[in-house]
Amino acid sequence: MKKNKNIKNIMLAFALVAGLTSCKKWLDVNVDKDNPNNQSVLVENRLPWIQHFYMYSAGVTNFRTAAQAGVYYSNNANTNSVTTTWKPAAGLTTTPYQTFFVSVSSNLTDMYNMAKSKGAYHYMAAANVFHALGFMQMLDLYGEMPYTDATYGNPSPKYDKGKIIYNGCMAKLNEAISLFSKTQEVGASALASGDMMHKGNVDKWIKLCWGLKARYMLKLSKKSDLYNADSILYCLARGPQSNADNAILPGLNNSMVVDYLIGDPVVTNGNFNYAAYGNNQRISQFYYNLLTNMRGSAVVDPRMTKIVPAMMTNVKLDGNGKVQSYNWTRSIGVDSYGPSTRLLKSTATSIALPSFAKANTDITYTIANATDRAAFIADLIAKGKTYSIPPDNPNGVKVTYKAGSMFINNNNYILAGDTAYVNMRSSAIATSGIAAQPESNVNWYANLDAFNAGVVGSTGSFQTRPVSDFEVLTYHEMCFIEAEVQMRKGATGVAHLAYKKGIEAHINMMQAKLNEWQGVYGLTNPDMKPMNQSDITSYLASAAVVQNAGDLTMRDIMLQKYVAMGCSLENWNDMRRFNYSAGNIGGFGVVYPGYDRGPLFTGTSELIGGSKTDPKYWMRRWRLPATLELQYNSANALAINPHVNQLYIWSIPVWWDCATDEEYEGYLK
């Protein structure tokens, strides 16, 4: 289960991938393609697929934990269980585990050993980096994991506790720094030959290692005996120093090839494959509010229009059925934490997907309640919609959706306004189903008729398009870590400078990508064009950003970090470190105001804490994959944690989320 040395090894599965263009150099896998085997895979051919599948595992992790952290709403039943009902579904937990162990971990030891035999120290170091990235992700999600036995062919590996996994990952990073600093042996493959991320730039790899150490050391903020602010600052000083040092993996839209394990596009951004491949995802009200009203300022963040998707509305078609005129309408956020008014009218998963009206389409809604009917009509009038009362149905309201409209094809009036919630979907040529849609157009269209008419159903979102960069580690994250650490030290002035640098670094990173996109994708998608510099300048000087160091709070730092990290596991990690909105960490008060169980909460068996200050009130970890571990390796899982089969395992903190080892051990009894 954890190790596979036969023909199924991921490196060998990709011998078919010979038709790609700009990624072809990474995809020639075996020396002898007619007789592939585990030992014939060159280290420079193994690394890019480790990077690819790490991105895939991390992408689904980013999306699902970002949903837990309130960034997204989903009407997919599994993900909705953590965005709305807080009754976590077992179906959430398998894919990150499976893709990491089957496709990444299974290759790390082989690549390390082969590189060692060739004196290719930089490939040894790269294996260590992805070891740390992957196993720390597993620790963050599941707590106790197979670790010391996990990569050596044991089909039923024993489990290790969180402290062992954490220390092991940190040791790997320390060794990686040493290995990257060595000169490779003569004849060893150059790192540039197989490195999609830094193109062989060893200095950037070393900065990545130091940055990861800072990120991981920050996880220990609850542990007075282990948290060391000066050590974190030492690592930050050796980590990324500007956006030029960002560790990113490229996202492309130039291939029809899909992978053998999941069936998703090979070359696209890992976040896209879950957050924006299908139609289920929307921006949450919680995230939307931060982009439009940070610090109660009512100031719209210039990043908002690049993150929150839009669709065409008020479309008029010409005589050939093509778009003649239209407006862009930005999505609103789905409320599942506050009043949840729309969801309570129906069900937790009821936000509906719009359809395209090729011709004028009539829908009659029967609304028995006079107050609801009057409110529905008033809304139609406000939006300039054509309606009538059917003579044979006094409770009915007939609405005509004009040709070119996006509308909800359902006669339930509660759903009729759901076009306001623009889905986050973006299109890749491998999955759009519209053969005529070119690589240069990643908008989502409801169907072929909508595409032919030119009616865009969604512009997508910055981090989750197929062509978006996958952010492994960024300078803006380093800035926000420094701001938090300095704030904890009481150095408010230095913290304020780092906070401002973090905001500016994220905006600058986005702007650089938007400038890169505008000449290709910006021709069809306004959200892929650069922000207005005047809007950026105004925002940075506004009340949305703390202008005086004396006014800075930990809430300000963490909410700006939350916006910048977006689709990232680190937002959920940060929320756990601050106990969400409990307000009981240090003297920092409530760091994430408004994040709490909503009115559709049903997770009483999973989240058993009775108050917000009880750790078990919140989602603290994921339950292990039911088939992969709770069935086939249950004896080892139960040996280390007797609660793994229980639903309330979701509320038991992982090792780094506990103040002491004694607290952690208490949860394992």
Q: Which of 544, 571, 568, 535 is nearest to 298 (CA)?
A: 544
CA dist 158 and 148 (Å) reads: 8
Which has the minimum average pLDDT: 33-37, 85-89, 233-237, 330-334? 33-37
Residue 34: what pLDDT?
Answer: 55
Query: How many other C-beta atoms are found inside a 10 Å radius of the C-beta of residue 667?
Result: 20
Residue 347: partners with Cβ closer than 8 Å, 6 or more residues away: none
Express each pLDDT in 99-134 by its tens digit.
Answer: 999 889 989 999 999 999 999 999 999 999 999 999
Residue 22: what pLDDT?
Answer: 43
User: Residue 281, by phi and psi: left (phi above 0), alpha (psi -120 to 50) or beta?
Assistant: beta
CA dist 123 and 111 (Å) reads: 7
Please compute the mean of the pLDDT values over residues 263-268 and round it to a whole number: 88
Residue 561 class from Cβ within 10 Å (0-12 exposed, 13-18 middle, 19+ buried)? buried
Please compute the mean of the pLDDT values over residues 624-652 and round it to a whole number: 92
Express each pLDDT in 454-470 by its tens digit.
Answer: 999 999 999 999 999 99
Q: Given pLDDT bands bounded at 50, 70 and 90, which one contains residue 9?
A: very low
Please compute the mean of the pLDDT values over residues 609-620 and round it to a whole number: 97
Residue 263: what pLDDT?
Answer: 82
Q: Given pLDDT bands bounded at 50, 70 and 90, which one contains residue 15?
A: very low
What's the whole-model pTM score?
A: 0.94
Q: Which residues partner with 159 through β-bridges? A: 146
SS3 assignment, position 472: strand
Please compute the mean of the pLDDT values over residues 295-300 and round it to a whole number: 98
Residue 190: what pLDDT?
Answer: 97
Residue 592: what pLDDT?
Answer: 98
pLDDT at 53 over 50: yes
Q: Given pLDDT bands bounded at 50, 70 and 90, which one contains residue 365?
A: very high
Q: Which CATH number fits domain 10-60+86-237: 1.25.40.390, 3.30.360.10, 2.60.40.150, 1.20.1440.230?
A: 1.25.40.390
Per-domain residue ranges for the chain? 10-60+86-237, 281-426
Residue 11: what pLDDT?
Answer: 38
CA dist 542 and 204 (Å) reads: 34
Please compute the mean of the pLDDT values over residues 422-441 and round it to a whole number: 96
Residue 33: what pLDDT?
Answer: 52
Q: Which of 245, 199, 286 is nearest to 562 (CA)?
A: 286
Residue 634: what pLDDT?
Answer: 92
Please compute the mean of the pLDDT values over residues 388-408 and round it to a whole number: 96
Please compute the mean of the pLDDT values over residues 303-308 and round it to a whole number: 98
Q: Which residues partner with 160 through β-bridges? A: 145
pLDDT at 666 over 90: yes
pLDDT at 3 over 60: no
Checking 287-291 for CB contacts under 8 A at 24+ apart, the result is 287/70, 287/71, 287/72, 287/333, 287/563, 287/566, 288/331, 288/332, 288/333, 289/333, 289/594, 290/559, 290/562, 290/563, 291/563
Q: Which of 464, 363, 367 is nearest to 423 (CA)?
A: 464
CA dist 613 and 584 (Å) reads: 7
Please compute the mean of the pLDDT values over residues 131-145 and round it to a whole number: 97
Express each pLDDT in 59-100 by its tens digit.
Answer: 999 999 999 999 999 999 999 999 999 999 999 999 999 999
SS3 assignment, position 146: strand
H/E element holding 356?
Answer: strand 355-356
Q: Give the N- to C-terminal CA distance of the chain in Å, as an integer.
A: 28
Q: What mean pLDDT is reported for the chain? A: 93
Residue 632: what pLDDT?
Answer: 85
Residue 13: what pLDDT?
Answer: 36
Please compute the mean of the pLDDT values over residues 134-156 and round it to a whole number: 90
Distances in Å between the alpha carbon of 190 and those of 26, 121, 122, 445, 602?
Answer: 13, 10, 8, 43, 54
Express each pLDDT in 307-338 by its tens digit.
Answer: 999 999 999 999 999 999 999 999 999 999 99
Q: Which of 26, 27, 7 is nearest to 17 (CA)?
A: 27
pLDDT at 158 over 60: yes
Express each pLDDT in 189-211 by its tens digit.
Answer: 999 999 999 999 999 999 999 99
